[in-house]
Every structure is written in C-alpha cells, then in structure tokens.
Structure 1
Amino acid sequence: MENFSLDQIPFSRNGSFLLITSRNSSGSPRLLYKTCSGRVHNLHDIPFPADEFFELALIKNGQEIPYTWQAQPGLLILSGPSGEEVSIVFADQATLQFHARNTGLRLMPSKVFPVQYSPVPHQIYLIDWFARGIHMFHADENTRLLANITPIVTGIEKHWGEFPCTITFEPRLENTTINGAIRFSRYEGFWEQPPGDLAKAHASLKTELSSWMQKLPSVPEKYQEKAELAWFLLWNCQVPAEGALNRPTIYMSKFWMNGIWAWDNLFNALALARADHRLAWDQLFLFFDYQEPNGMIPDMITDMEPIYGFTKPPIQGWAILQLVDRLGIEKSLPYLRKVYEPLSRLTRWWYTYRDFDHDGLPQYFHGNDSGWDNATVFDQGEPIEGADLGAYMVFQCECLSFIADAINRPEEAKQWKARAQKQLSDLLVHSVRGGHFISPVSGTSQAEPSQSLINYLPLILGQRLPERIREALINDLRPGGPFLTEFGLASEPPSSVKYMHDGYWRGPIWGASTYLVFDGLLQSGETPLAGLIAERFCDMCLQVPGFWENYDALTGQGYRCPGYSWTASIFILLAEWLAKKKS
C-alpha cells in the first residue's frame, strides 16, 4: 500500500500512543499532534482536551504558510505552495523525527504548560501535567529552537496562572535544511543523543513494516488493496505493554475508542492468529491478568486502568475453539494449559453471580454487558436472559471440556460436557417460542417482542439446534428476509418501527454480529448463504474509505469511530475465507 487518509487512520506506529491526525477539535486545517493514552487527566474545569498537544504549522519568513499532506506507512510529508517540505517519521515509539526544507516547523499549543526549561543548548522541555509527561524538543546545530508564550490555538491566554508555549524550529540561514526531533516521555531525564538520520529511521521502520505486511493472509484480488490497509491498521493500532497494559495490545482505534474491550479483542486475536500467535493470545490473556478472585474480568482496559462495572459477553470459549482450529492443537496447547483455570473461574462467575433465579440461564444487567449496548431487546427492561448469552455459555462449557481432555483431566472434561448439554437443553426449553429465540426478563418466561438480530446469534450452535429452529432462523437471514440488505445484516430490520439509520445497535451493520452469524451459517451447513453475507460485508468495506465502527444498513455509510481495528480484522477473516473457498 502507498498512501492513506489521516481522516481515516492517524499517522502513528505500532507500540506508540502518539499520533498525528487531521481530525482537529479546534476546527483548524492544521494537523494535530496528540496522544491516545488513557493517562491524561481530563478535569471537568479545564478548557482544553488533555490528550491534545500541538497543531503543526509551516513557517517561512516569520509567516505561517498553508500546506497539504501525504501520509504513507512510516512517513508523513507536509508540502507548502512553493516547494517547502517537512518529512516526519517515528524514530522510535516515543520520538518523532523530522527534516525540513525551505521552511520552519512551528508547534502551536493546544494547552498550557506549568514548567519550561532548557537543560542544554538546542533543547527545550515542557512539563505537561495534564498528559502526565514531558515534551522534549531537540534541534541540530543548523536549527534555531525557540519557545514563546502565546495563546492556545483556541485563543486562551492562560489557565490556573499557567501559560501556553509555542515551539518553533527555524533555519539559522536562509534556504538551509533543518533537522529536529520531538519526544514525549513519562519521565524526566536528559536527551543525550543528537537527532538521528531520518533516512535511516525511515528505512528501519519500512523493514519492520514490510515484515508485518508479508504476513497478510491471502485474499481475493479485488480485496487486496483494502486488505493491505486493514492489515496496516492492525499494526498501527498496537500500543505498548505499558501502564495497566501488561501485554502488547491492539486498541480498537487510536482516534477515540482508546482501549480494549472484552469481546472486541477476540476478533482481533482470530485475525492475527496465524501471523503472530503470541500477540493473538495476549489479547485474550490481557483480561485474565485482571481477573477478580470470584472470576469476573474487566469490561475494558486502558493503559491507565482496568474498568469493571459492566462486563462483556462470554465468547471466550467460542473464540478459543476458533483459535485452536486456526493454529492446531500442538501450537495451542501451551496456551490452553494457562487459560483453563481462568476460563473455568469466568464461566462459574456467570452461573454464580449472574443467575438470580437459578434457572441455569445467566443474565445481562444492561445492554452494555451484551456488547449490543442499546439493542431493542433491552427496551423491555433488565436484567434479561439473553438468548445469545445462553448460546455462548454452551461454548464456554464445551471449550472447557475440550481443554480438560487435552490437558489430561478426563473427569473434569466429562463434567463440563454434561454442563454444556444441560445448558443447551435449558436454553431450548426456556428461550424458544414459535421456533424463534427470545430473551426474557430474568425470573419470568416472558419477553416483549423484539426484532433485534441479537436473538439470532444462537445460530452459532449450528447442528446442535433442532432442524426446525435452525431453519426458521436461517430463512429470516436469507435474501428477501428482514435483515439482509445489499450491504449486509442489519442489527435491527429496516422494516422495524424501531430502526434507526445511525442507531448504533438499532439498525447499522456491525462486523462482530456479521461474523458470528456467518460462523453459525457455516456450522449449519449453509455455506452459500454464509458466502453471500461475507461478500456483501467485504464489498461494503471496499466502497467506503477506511474501516468504521459500524455502517448504515441501507447506504453503507460508515458511522461513529473510524480507524476501527475489529472491523478491519473481520474484513480480513471474511476475505481470507472467500479466497480459500474460491481456491
């Protein structure tokens, strides 16, 4: 791949929280330099975003000049109207290095800084209390480095008695090229090395990225360019094992969904499995790193902290069996030994703490617990015994039985197998009406009517379902049924009175629901329909720039957060399957 849009994917690199984006909250046409770290301190009374650092400006003869930009993997070029040019690369995860020709580079502040100091010539440091770190600026001997108190880009002159600071790199002689570097560090210290060679930094990064891109799974030719963008996005969304993140992590996005959630992570793991099995399993184990003694895992994790309260649906069992299928038992066995006890505790947590009426069917307290935050199935009130949740629990128990057998615990394997069979029986007795699944309010056997696609997710059980139920679900998913549009499966049928174009889980197409239904169709022997849904989703992604959190079911327009990694992962998974099917 060559260029990408900074409106769709920020300029960043694997292992870094730093980024440059054209999505600028001030409304300025300048590019914005910021962080996606969760360590920032957004107090309610500060008049600026704590995660934003500086806007980038080109300066010539003391005046700001307009510029355009071209973003490539590993290289960002800013171009002025008369041949001015600034090239920017990541020298490492915390350092941006640049080379400027016929122009200076000015960093215009998005906030105030309590302390400014210059420990040695050609260096200036600013303490950024709100982002919990220190900005370091380093110029070479041909470059004049200046710090001046100026208003914030939004016009604020000071806050709490602290002042903004503009940093300018400018040539000492007319038409001289200049070199400099910008670093953001959590800790105070000296920057002893001079700015390095930009060409070498770029070459090193290109080599690293090339190695990653070579691991891209094979996809049909028409999807190749888009798949390269998706694979690059998965590289770009990686952040380091730092702070509360005990392992290298793939964030959902570096725009504003800056974290990892306890089911989104598993689709990324599946896409990565064959390319980097250690990184894939790390996405799963991140949450078990913070498992409570009672078995609960966090809802989400950022580099600042794990966050509990809500949770996410227990699709770990389903995902682990998929990982084993992709990797083979020999490569998976070391991970299976480690995951068995945490997975057992998590599964028991659902039965112990989320089954108030003791009917064997756990419940969601809130839509957020299901991952389908505002789906219409929750309009009846909570807690509800989600039909999807009951199906996931079958997989939890089956997976534990499989692992117990693989690690030579035969009695436990039998117990988990029996629990899986009982779970399936309870689900079919309690949650099926008229050949379709319902999600009743806990403690009752009643559910208000809902057309949400979430009640079709038990299809992942495939041949375990009675044929009449399986066929009823599949018929509704076929062309001409309520869900399938020319772009894919709507989360709420467009014919529903509750359908909303940009309604989150009340209409738009999502990657996760698409992939779960796709897998259920495969398990049910409905390969042609699974292939049709896969193609429609991939074609939709092909026609819309970037990868979005969700998509309009009737137009294919991308909604909410751009640069979204699990959508990229699901595109790759489906495109890879389509390639294998054709071969």
Structure 2
Amino acid sequence: MTPAERAARYLDLENAPFTLPGSRILVLRAHSGLTVCLAEYERRLDESMLVRTLRVFGADGRLAPVSDVRPDRIAFGDAGVTLTFDGPDALSLGGDGRWSVELDLPGLAPDHVWRPGLPSAATAGWSATGADDVVVTGDTVRLSFGGGSLRLGIGAAAATAPADHPASLARTLTVWDDWFTRTPAVRDDLADMTAFCWWVLGANIVSLPGRGARAVVPSKIGYVGVWQWDAYFIASGLRHGDPELAKEQLKLAFAFPTVDGQLPDVVHDEGVLASSDDLPPGDRENLRRAGSAIADPTAPIPLTKPPLAAWALRRLEGFVDDPAWFDTAWATVARSQEWWFARSDLDGDGMPEYGHPYSSGLDDSPVFDAELPVSSPDLAAYLILQDDLLASRARATGDVEAAERHTARAARTLELLEGMWDETAGFFRSSGAGTPVGSETAVSLLPLLTGRLPGRYVAGILAALDDPDRFATAWTVPTVARRDPDFSEERMWRGPVWVNVNALLAEGLAVSGHPDRARELAEQTLRLVIHGGGPHEYFTPGTGRKARTATTAFGWSAALFVDLAVQLSA
C-alpha cells in the first residue's frame, strides 16, 4: 500500500480538510454537501467562507454524496464527478455524462464575481465549460452539465478560463505523489499514521506574502502563521523527509529579530507579533495583565516563545548541508539567548521570567493565574539547555571565550533552578512576582531536559510520573497533576496531554539516565495519536481521545509523531 493510500484512510473532510500544499483553500463537509473556506491568520472558518454549500447531483437529479476522498480528489457517489485543485488558487469540478452542481455563494454579483473581502481573496469567480443550463437565484447558482467542468478561483485565478479537468486531476496527483515520495520509512505498525501525519505536514504548507519561503503552519484551521516554537517542533519532523523545508521553517522563525535580539512570537501574513504593540488596539489592554508588582503595566510587553531555538537548530545538523546558513543561524540564536538574560530577567535575580503567558506557549496554564512576571522551571531548563548547546557550538568553532561564558551561565542558572525545588511538595515550583504558585504542572517535570539534575531531583520527578494522583493517568502525561484543584480533562494546558510536552519529557528521561523510561513514554505517545485517531492539538488523559476544543490535523503533533516514529524504528 502506498503512503497516499494509507493517508486516505483518515481524510474524512471533518478532522482533515481537502487541500493542497501551498493553497489557502479548504474543503470540508457541511450539511448535505461541502463548504469551501480560506485559511486566514486569526480568522475562524465561519469568518472566511468562500462557498457556503456545494452540492453535486447525478443524472437522475438526486444528490450525489461524497463517496471517496483521496489526497488528490473527492468523488461523488456514482455520478462520475470529481473535485480537485487547478493550482493553489482554484478548484476544478468535472465529470462525464449528465450532472449538475448547486453553489450557495456569499455576495454574488451579476458578473459572476463574488467578493469575500478576505486578505487572501478579495474577489472570487467561477467559469464553466459544457454547462447547458445556468440558473442564478439570489446567491445560489445551479449549473447543469453534459460533461464539462466548473472552475472556482480566487484572486487573479478568478478570471482564468475554465479548467481542463483531466489535466487538473493529473497535476494535483503529481503534487501529492511528489510529497509522498518523501515519507520517512518507519515500522509497519506505525506506517499508516506516519503517512497521515506526513500528509498533514504537506497539507499545512502555505505561502506567506513576501517571505520568500514556504511556511508549514500549525493548522490551516485557525493557526495560519509561523509560531516560533511550532516551527521548531515541525522542523524536527520535516528533517526526516524534507530537510530543506525544515530549514525554511527555522529561517522564517529567525528572520525578524528585534534590534536587541528577541525572536518574535509569530511571523504572519501582515507582519510579525513581537510585542503587545503589534496587536490591534482593542486587544492590547487584555494582554498587558496590569497590576504586576515588577513589570511595568504601561510598557509594551514583549511576546516571544520558549528558547528552544538551539535545540531545533542542532537537530538539523547532519540533515542540512549549508555551513554558511548554520553560522548565521547560530549567531541569531546566541543573540536571542542574550535577550532573555538582559531583557526578560524582570526582577534582576539572574533568572529570566515569562513576562506574558504567550511567551511560555502554555497560555492557559494555571501557573499564569499568578501575578506576572512568572519564574518557571521549564524556562530555566530551556535556558540551561540552550547555553549548553551554544557552548558546544562555540567550542566546535574555536571560540573558547564564548564557550566558557555559556558554560558558566548555564551553571549559574542550574543553581537557581535547584533553588526552585520545594522539598515538602516534591516538585519544582513556579512563582509569580516572587510569590510561590500552588499549582503542580508539567513545567515542573521539564528540568529533566537539562540532563544535569542531581539524582534526588530526578528521583522526585520519576515519583511524580509514577503517582496516579499526579501524572500517572491512563494516557500520560497530563499537563496538570490530577490531584491539583486546577486539573481539567478538557481545558487547554490544564490537564490534557500534548505531544510536544511528551516528546520533550521523553528526551529529558533519556538524557537523565533513563533510556528505557524514555522509550516507554515515546511508544505510548505514538499509541495515543493512533488511538485518538490522528495528530490532534491535545488529548484527554482519561480517554486518550481528542479534547473537545482541540484543533485537528495539528502541525507539531504530526511532526513529532513522525520524529518519534523514525527514532523508534531505527
């Protein structure tokens, strides 16, 4: 069975939309037909609808339901009609014999052009060949065909002539065949989900205007942009099949540092999100979190993501042959590390803090119920790891002074991290504006990543992982301990299981001297994704199913499944 055939098993048009690498067009099930939407930054699908409903009818006039979905086409019953792409900005619908289609189009004008008014599609249009009857009633168009095809296009493609449907089918098949030829080889029991996860990564490719690179976004459903740490996790999976595309993700994440070295939270269609001042005015006050005893509530708040840049960059070594790019990228990472210590140590104690929940990536974690800024053990661990990797890089390039500086700072940060251990509670405790935070969350486990914790702390973390009242749930690892009053099966970052947290913890177990435990957690994480039906954004720790509000076909879940599957298949 080919990877495309394996992936097709999961293409239900609900959890996985019909789309094309590089396209903003998404096709999903709706009512008795399909709906066509566009992937837009910070817009819900119901705010970016192109076609409200598309229905196909056979020669007998009866509705032809979707009967088959493959990466390159959708088939409708026995009507002999298929839907495919005609390049990234258009859909082609065609078939032999008699058939018809009904389109409910928002805002249709008399010239057959409708105006969604969206950033990636101010206008759209349709053109047909072989249509022998066209009836327009308000915003509804019904076309009848004796063979022929219908083309729906956006932007410049709206005015293009009708598609050659067989040629469109062939071109779309070629695009997907080229993508699937890169599918990494894995164990047989992991092959189906790996193929689907590889499809997810291809499906989530978009073009960001003026960026000069392909972006693999977290999801075309609501997450259209390059979030910094999403890019790091996505690159980790892409490196096994398309290392150049993996490099493009880091290039985008590293391309827009501030003058003092801070890397932005998001690179998106309209610019970057690097501080609260980059947000619409109405959102700024909600994000300032005024009232902190340390942070200035009137000042712009830097928005970034956890410092895993060196971690991601190191993972591309041996996969990408571009020494000059690596030199530049490592210099960018070194400057970003300096930013954390110079500009995000808000109380001046030598340990940087999170100045805003966005910068942690764990926006809704109960550690951020505390007053800002938050000193958190996961940030300490990331900074230690990043200084260690920068020291290793400096030694490799002969920069002894830089190596010593990074090594010394990592040692100081480790001492401060050890000071966060709460002996009575048995975990590394966060603090908000200097006040201890009560909640026990997964951030208390992530110091394993340093590989440098004294044995008693490692033993304490293992005890937490083995305790059914804490993190030993049916499907591990929950992001909040079960005994904690803030634990929730469903609420984002307050209990559900995330693939990226599990992957980091598995790595932490391995570098902390517990390779068998690391493999066990990695294997269970792969079983979770398979059991849950796909690489969702997050999963419930009790059932192992998709949490109610989690996004489906999620980029880093897919990429890290691929990454773990390859590692465990070696």
Amino acid at match of 2:381: A
Structure 1 counterpart of 2:319:
327
- Picking from 414, 418, 423, the partner of 1:424 is 414
Give the deviation of 1:352 after TM superposition.
Answer: 1.9
- Structure-2 change in CA distance of 1:210 and 1:360 (3 Å): same
- Structure-2 change in CA distance of 1:302 and 1:144 (3 Å): farther
Shifted more, 5-14 versus 488-497: the winner is: 488-497
Amino acid at match of 1:485: T
SS class of match (2:124) = strand
Amino acid at match of 2:319: L
Give the deviation of 1:409 after TM superposition.
Answer: 3.6
Give the deviation of 1:481 after TM superposition.
Answer: 6.8
C-alpha distance in structure 2 between counterparts of 1:496 and 1:332, whole Å:
47
The unaligned stretches of length 5 or more in structure 1 are 43-47, 118-123, 151-164
Structure 1 counterpart of 2:334:
344
Structure 2 counterpart of 1:19:
26
Give the deviation of 1:51 after TM superposition.
Answer: 3.9
C-alpha distance in structure 1 between counterparts of 2:323 and 2:391, whole Å:
14
- Picking from 5, 17, 35, the partner of 2:12 is 5
Q: 1:47-126, aligned counterparts within 5 Å?
A: 49-59=47-57, 65=63, 67-79=65-77, 83-101=78-96, 102-109=98-105, 111-113=106-108, 115-117=109-111, 124-126=112-114
- Structure-2 change in CA distance of 1:190 and 1:440 (3 Å): closer
Amino acid at match of 2:83: I
Q: Is the 8 A contact 1:456 1:473 kept in 2?
A: yes
- Picking from 338, 343, 351, the partner of 1:353 is 343
- Identical amino acids, percent of aligned pairs: 23
Structure 1 counterpart of 2:218:
252
Amino acid at match of 2:357: G
Give the deviation of 1:418 after TM superposition.
Answer: 2.5
- Structure-2 change in CA distance of 1:125 and 1:413 (3 Å): same
SS class of match (1:475) = helix
- Picking from 189, 195, 205, the partner of 2:172 is 205
C-alpha distance in structure 1 between counterparts of 2:34 and 2:551, whole Å:
18
- Picking from 554, 575, 579, the partner of 2:569 is 579
Q: Is the 8 A contact 1:320 1:399 kept in 2?
A: no
Q: 1:56-455, aligned counterparts within 5 Å?
A: 56-59=54-57, 65=63, 67-79=65-77, 83-101=78-96, 102-109=98-105, 111-113=106-108, 115-117=109-111, 124-131=112-119, 132-140=121-129, 142-144=130-132, 146=134, 148-150=136-138, 165-171=139-145, 176-185=146-155, 187=156, 190-191=159-160, 193-196=161-164, 198-240=165-207, 242-243=208-209, 245-308=211-274, 309=276, 310-324=303-317, 327=319, 331=321, 333-428=323-418, 430-434=419-423, 436-442=427-433, 444=434, 446-455=435-444
Q: Is the 8 A contact 2:44 2:221 kept in 1?
A: no
- Picking from 445, 448, 453, the partner of 1:459 is 448
Report Cα offsets for 1:223-267 as digits up to 9, x if no partner: 211111111111111112x32644201111122233331111211
Q: 1:475-490, aligned counterparts within 5 Å?
A: 475-478=463-466, 482-490=470-478
C-alpha distance in structure 2 between counterparts of 1:394 and 1:51, whole Å:
45
Give the deviation of 1:472 after TM superposition.
Answer: 1.5
C-alpha distance in structure 2 between counterparts of 1:431 and 1:244, whole Å:
44
Structure 1 counterpart of 2:286:
none
Report Cα offsets for 1:7-32 as digits up to 9, x if no partner: 1110001111111012x4xxx33210
Give the deviation of 1:385 after TM superposition.
Answer: 0.9
Give the deviation of 1:474 after TM superposition.
Answer: 2.2
Give the deviation of 1:508 after TM superposition.
Answer: 0.5
- Structure-2 change in CA distance of 1:386 and 1:254 (3 Å): same
Q: Is the 8 A contact 1:250 1:260 kept in 2?
A: yes
SS class of match (1:129) = coil
- Structure-2 change in CA distance of 1:517 and 1:39 (3 Å): closer
SS class of match (1:177) = strand
- Structure-2 change in CA distance of 1:481 and 1:575 (3 Å): farther
Aligned length: 530
Give the deviation of 1:405 after TM superposition.
Answer: 3.7
* TM-score under structure 1 length normalisation: 0.85
Give the deviation of 1:297 after TM superposition.
Answer: 2.4
C-alpha distance in structure 2 between counterparts of 1:388 and 1:314, whole Å:
10
- Structure-2 change in CA distance of 1:409 and 1:202 (3 Å): farther
Structure 2 counterpart of 1:469:
457
C-alpha distance in structure 1 between counterparts of 2:437 and 2:309, whole Å:
29
Amino acid at match of 2:382: Y
C-alpha distance in structure 1 between counterparts of 2:262 and 2:223, whole Å:
23
Amino acid at match of 2:431: P
SS class of match (1:99) = strand
- Structure-2 change in CA distance of 1:439 and 1:244 (3 Å): farther
C-alpha distance in structure 2 between counterparts of 1:87 and 1:223, whole Å:
30
Give the deviation of 1:290 after TM superposition.
Answer: 2.1
Report Cα offsets for 1:366-419 as digits up to 9, x if no partner: 332211112222233221111110111112222323333444544333322332
C-alpha distance in structure 2 between counterparts of 1:420 and 1:56, whole Å:
58
C-alpha distance in structure 2 between counterparts of 1:372 and 1:402, whole Å:
29
- Picking from 22, 32, 36, the partner of 2:35 is 32
Q: Is the 8 A contact 2:152 2:158 kept in 1?
A: no
- Structure-2 change in CA distance of 1:528 and 1:432 (3 Å): same
The unaligned stretches of length 5 or more in structure 2 are 1-5, 277-302
Q: Is the 8 A contact 2:39 2:48 kept in 1?
A: no
Give the deviation of 1:332 after TM superposition.
Answer: 5.6
C-alpha distance in structure 2 between counterparts of 1:261 and 1:377, whole Å:
21
Give the deviation of 1:519 after TM superposition.
Answer: 0.4
Report Cα offsets for 1:153-187 as digits up to 9, x if no partner: xxxxxxxxxxxx3333322xxxx2121222112x4
Computed over aligned residues only, the root mean square deviation of the Cα atoms, in angstroms, reads 2.6
C-alpha distance in structure 2 between counterparts of 1:461 and 1:128, whole Å:
50
Q: Is the 8 A contact 2:236 2:316 kept in 1?
A: yes
Q: Is the 8 A contact 2:532 2:539 kept in 1?
A: no
Amino acid at match of 1:297: L
Structure 1 counterpart of 2:560:
570
- Structure-2 change in CA distance of 1:459 and 1:276 (3 Å): same
Report Cα offsets for 1:400-456 as digits up to 9, x if no partner: 23333444544333322332232223322x3223263222224x3x41332111111
Amino acid at match of 2:312: A
C-alpha distance in structure 2 between counterparts of 1:69 and 1:366, whole Å:
48
Structure 2 counterpart of 1:156:
none
C-alpha distance in structure 1 between counterparts of 2:530 and 2:222, whole Å:
23
C-alpha distance in structure 2 between counterparts of 1:479 and 1:493, whole Å:
9
Amino acid at match of 2:309: Q
Give the deviation of 1:348 after TM superposition.
Answer: 1.7
Amino acid at match of 1:260: V
C-alpha distance in structure 1 between counterparts of 2:23 and 2:330, whole Å:
32
- Structure-2 change in CA distance of 1:233 and 1:189 (3 Å): closer
